[in-house]
Amino acid sequence: MMPALRELWVPMSCPLIIWLLATLIVYQGARLLYGWSGLHPFANPVLTSVTVIIGLLLITDTRYETYFDQVKVLHLLLGPATVALAIPLYGQLRRLRRMLVPLGLAAIVGSATAIVSAVGIGWLLGASPELLLALAPKSTTMPVAIGIAQQTGGLASLTALTVTLTGISGAIMGGAVLSLMRIRDAVVRGFVFGTAAHAIGTAQAFREGEATGAFAALGMGFTGVATALLVPVLVLLLRVQSWTFAAH
């Protein structure tokens, strides 16, 4: 058994689905762990799965490109899964119609807070200019954030990092912060998860129920648009300011 197993790990003879299989097994394990922990936020399945997967990639000295190639099918399913979010949203249509304006307002305030707080804290702690540009769009989904970063001159890879960390930390802390604020309304909880932690937060919100998840999907969509409109304005303002400083 063991020599055969070792042979599997030789990169060239590696069957094409080994990482897909590994990812599914790791994910199932992560879900079990999450259940056993009583849905503890730090046992978030995305966090535990990714930690194990990265560990496996490092141990086996596998390139990320090789890994991604084999699990691409999961990544491709993210598109139809996003479209599918329309179905739970449709189930909330009556509430959605009534709340469209408040939700829009909350998304604008949330996006502005996300941009200003992240860039502000980063700037205070001496983050590099590249990191600041990557922090600005971090609350949106990956494709939106990378699009914004490219528009403002940020690095796509660094933006991917801030987006991922934001999703994980928002999903982990969201429930605790909201409970601390004594917010139990599924609409508010869901919308906050989507606004602060995009797809990872939305996945977490669906664990709380269908209504929570539906409004998270909505928050994610609204935030994408609001952030895409706000970030270029902020970057422009900062540039103008640094030019005036340079002129003096």
186 binds another protein (CB under 8 A): no
Span from 5-13, 35-43, 109-117, 237-245 in contact with another protein (CB under 8 A):
109-117
144, with CB counted inside 10 A (0-12, 13-18, 19+), is buried
Residue among 7 and 84 whose Cβ is closer to another protein: 84
Contact with another protein (CB under 8 A) among 72, 153, 237, 240: 72
Contacts of 216 (CB under 8 A, 6+ apart): 190, 191, 193, 194, 201, 202, 204, 205, 206
Binders of another protein in range 2-21 (CB under 8 A): none
Span from 10-18, 35-43, 135-143, 235-243 in contact with another protein (CB under 8 A):
135-143
Contacts of 1 (CB under 8 A, 6+ apart): none
C-alpha R_g of the chain: 20
Contact with another protein (CB under 8 A) among 39, 77, 236, 237: 77
Contact with another protein (CB under 8 A) among 8, 87, 237, 240: 87
Binders of another protein in range 141-180 (CB under 8 A): 141-144, 147-148, 157-158, 160-162, 164-170, 173-174, 177-178
CA pseudo-torsion sign 21, 158, 196, 145 = negative
